[in-house]
């Protein structure tokens, strides 16, 4: 059966022996580690919801290869309905977890690599597309989490990969063998990496003809020899070590970012999907970025829903919810959040079929969607902090509330309206802090800014895709600078 259960997913991670470092020490049991486990729980929700009949239509799909029911995160988009359901699924999971659930990047990589390998094969007669189909069927049959892996360390940003003093600044092929290739380098900001089963590596940017060794796309098991993982430090992360989890805010779920080092990792030929075809590196990067920019209008909107709910709750607890300015601010939060969602749905509805058969979003609207995501969540977070009040940053710790001497006083002076307890207020403020300032801010705000490319990357694509001369011609026809050939009636 292609669908794995949430418990089956967690058990599958326990089988992995990974080389992980955190705080300068090697992690022995990463599944049980209190800092890591919330991020595993978030991924597990992508499996749990797929088990529930209520969400079957969003969370599952029919494989175009086998005809079996599969998790939508392993699916190739077959029509615009699939693209729309993807966004709705991401919003649902954002609502359920309040954080990044880490599986989108693999899904977006699948769809980008599938169509790109088809076109490489059409030009060069290679076998990449068939190899990738076999890999994807394997992923679907085992319901695996795959981390799409693109962003390199990049070294001196003024220099291209082939000009770097250290060629390892961008992941590259260091050896070609009869049975495969050997790669070396580092991929940065890898969301959910150690919660995955496989890694799908892609080039970082456009490449020149003499930069063939950096034009590599391939798949590597998470526990392949030579893989090293360094866990990213996040604000307030050690709060997860506390026995009382109230100060964490989001007490069950969290995100994860990993520095992923490939130290001479061997890849067999059947897992190599690009090897030196520099003229297709731009296509792969732009298609992956487009799909991933579409994703942000789903997942970040779901998290935004939870933040709006937290802002509503805290104003209720404080007895301020009837104030007109509070109502107006909540409306503004909803307006911004739904605008993000609308643009992501639009780029999905305007999608089109690629030569390979899967569907691609409208690239212009996907970049517009992500450009909005680099701005609106920050305003939503600002309003939430406004409504939360100053106690957001002066709230005593959970240990102070539990202290037999000062605890009663702390609770007395943090009491709120009606029969709402001070603990309710404490928990809700910690959730707002988590999403806008703490560990959750990595998934909500920092990912909104830098995930799928920083703001300038979208602006470059928008400038490339928008036809300004066509718009100029429209204006000139209306005012008579050009003859208006549309007017031919008497």
Q: pLDDT per residue over 398-453, tens digit each?
A: 999 999 999 999 999 998 877 778 899 999 999 999 999 999 888 899 999 999 99
The pair of structure tokens assigned to 470 is 């066509």
CATH for 284-469 is 1.20.140.10
The pair of structure tokens assigned to 62 is 């029919």
Candidate list 33, 47, 100, 116, residue with the active-site label: 100
Asked whether residue 396 carries a pLDDT value surpassing 70, the answer given is yes
**191 annotated active-site:** yes
Question: Is residue 377 exposed (0-12), middle (13-18) or buried (19+ Cβ within 10 Å)?
Answer: buried
pLDDT of the residue at 420? 73
**100 annotated active-site:** yes
Other beta carbons within 10 Å of 252: 15
**181 against 1, higher pLDDT:** 181
**420 against 296, higher pLDDT:** 296
Candidate list 218, 291, 292, 343, residue with the active-site label: 292
Rounded distance between C-alpha atoms, residue 129 and residue 14, angstroms = 32
**350 annotated active-site:** no
**54 annotated active-site:** no
In three-state secondary structure terms, 88 is helix
**257 annotated active-site:** yes
**104 annotated active-site:** yes
The pair of structure tokens assigned to 73 is 């995160």
Greatest pairwise CA separation for the chain in angstroms? 92
How far from the centroid of its chain's Cα atoms is residue 313's Cα? Answer: 27
Rounded distance between C-alpha atoms, residue 296 and residue 452, angstroms = 8
Asked whether residue 107 carries a pLDDT value surpassing 90, the answer given is yes
Mean pLDDT of 177-194: 97
pLDDT of the residue at 94? 98
Q: How confident is the model over 54-94, as pLDDT tens digits? A: 999 999 999 999 999 999 999 999 999 999 999 999 999 99
DSSP state of 72: G
For the chain, the average pLDDT equals 96
What residues does each domain of the chain span?
Answer: 6-88+98-281, 284-469
DSSP E strands: which ranges in 108-222? 146-149, 172-177, 180-191, 198-201, 216-221
User: pLDDT category, 288, cuts 50, 70, 90?
Assistant: very high
Q: How confident is the model over 199-214, as pLDDT tens digits? A: 999 999 999 999 999 9
Candidate list 60, 116, 117, 191, residue with the active-site label: 191
Q: CB of 4 within 8 A of CB of 143? A: yes
Question: Is residue 24 exposed (0-12), middle (13-18) or buried (19+ Cβ within 10 Å)?
Answer: exposed
Candidate list 55, 74, 104, 151, residue with the active-site label: 104
Judged by phi (left if over 0) then psi (alpha if -120 to 50, else beta), residue 269 lies in alpha
pLDDT of the residue at 1? 64
Q: Which of 111, 93, 110 is nearest to 47 (CA)?
A: 93
The pair of structure tokens assigned to 177 is 């063998």
Q: Check if 6-88+98-281 and 284-469 are the same fold.
A: no
Q: Which of 311, 101, 285 is nearest to 191 (CA)?
A: 101
pLDDT of the residue at 416? 85
Domain 6-88+98-281 has CATH 3.90.78.10: no
Other beta carbons within 10 Å of 166: 10
Other beta carbons within 10 Å of 278: 18
Candidate list 47, 55, 170, 296, residue with the active-site label: 296
């Amino acid at each position: 059966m292609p669908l794995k259960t949430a418990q089956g997913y967690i058990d599958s991670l326990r089988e992995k022996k990974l080389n992980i470092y955190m705080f300068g020490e090697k992690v022995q049991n990463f599944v049980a580690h209190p800092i890591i486990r919330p991020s595993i729980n978030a991924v597990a929700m992508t499996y749990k919801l797929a088990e529930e009949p209520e969400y079957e239509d969003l969370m599952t799909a029919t494989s175009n290869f086998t005809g079996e029911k599969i998790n939508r995160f392993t699916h190739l988009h077959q029509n615009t309905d699939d693209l729309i359901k993807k966004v709705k699924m991401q919003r649902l999971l954002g609502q359920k977890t309040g954080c990044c659930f880490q599986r989108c990047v693999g899904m977006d990589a699948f769809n980008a690599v599938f169509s790109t390998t088809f076109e490489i094969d059409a030009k060069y007669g290679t076998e990449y597309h068939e190899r990738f189909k076999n890999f994807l069927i394997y992923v679907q049959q085992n319901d695996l989490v795959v981390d799409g892996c693109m962003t390199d360390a990049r070294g001196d940003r003024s220099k291209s990969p082939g000009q770097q003093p250290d060629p390892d600044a961008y992941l590259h092929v260091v050896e070609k063998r009869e049975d495969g290739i050997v790669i070396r380098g580092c991929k940065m900001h890898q969301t959910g990496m150690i919660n995955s089963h496989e890694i799908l590596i892609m080039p970082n940017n456009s490449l020149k003809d003499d930069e063939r060794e950096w034009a590599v796309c391939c798949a590597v098991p998470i526990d392949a020899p030579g893989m090293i993982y360094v866990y990213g430090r996040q604000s307030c992360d050690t709060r997860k070590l506390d026995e009382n989890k109230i100060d964490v805010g989001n007490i069950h779920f969290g995100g994860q970012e990993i520095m992923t080092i490939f130290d001479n990792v061997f890849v067999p030929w059947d897992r190599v999907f690009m090897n030196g075809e520099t003229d297709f590196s731009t296509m792969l990067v732009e298609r992956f970025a487009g799909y991933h920019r579409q994703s942000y209008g789903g997942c970040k909107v779901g998290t935004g829903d939870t933040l709006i709910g937290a802002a509503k709750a805290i104003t209720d607890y404080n007895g301020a919810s009837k104030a007109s300015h509070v109502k107006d601010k909540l409306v503004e939060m909803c307006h911004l959040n739904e605008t993000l969602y609308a643009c992501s749905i639009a780029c999905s509805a305007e999608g089109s079929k690629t030569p390979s058969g899967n569907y691609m979003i409208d690239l212009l609207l996907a970049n517009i969607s992500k450009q909005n995501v680099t701005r609106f969540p920050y305003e939503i977070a600002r309003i939430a902090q406004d409504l939360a009040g100053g106690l957001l940053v002066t709230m005593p710790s959970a240990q102070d509330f539990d202290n037999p001497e000062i605890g009663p006083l702390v609770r007395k002076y943090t009491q709120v309206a009606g029969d709402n307890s001070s603990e309710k207020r404490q928990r809700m403020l910690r959730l707002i802090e988590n999403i806008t300032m703490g560990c959750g801010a990595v998934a909500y705000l920092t990912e909104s800014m830098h995930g799928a490319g920083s703001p300038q990357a979208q602006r470059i694509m928008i400038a490339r895709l928008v036809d300004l001369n066509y718009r100029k011609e429209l204006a000139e026809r209306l005012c008579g600078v050009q003859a208006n050939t549309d007017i031919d009636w008497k």
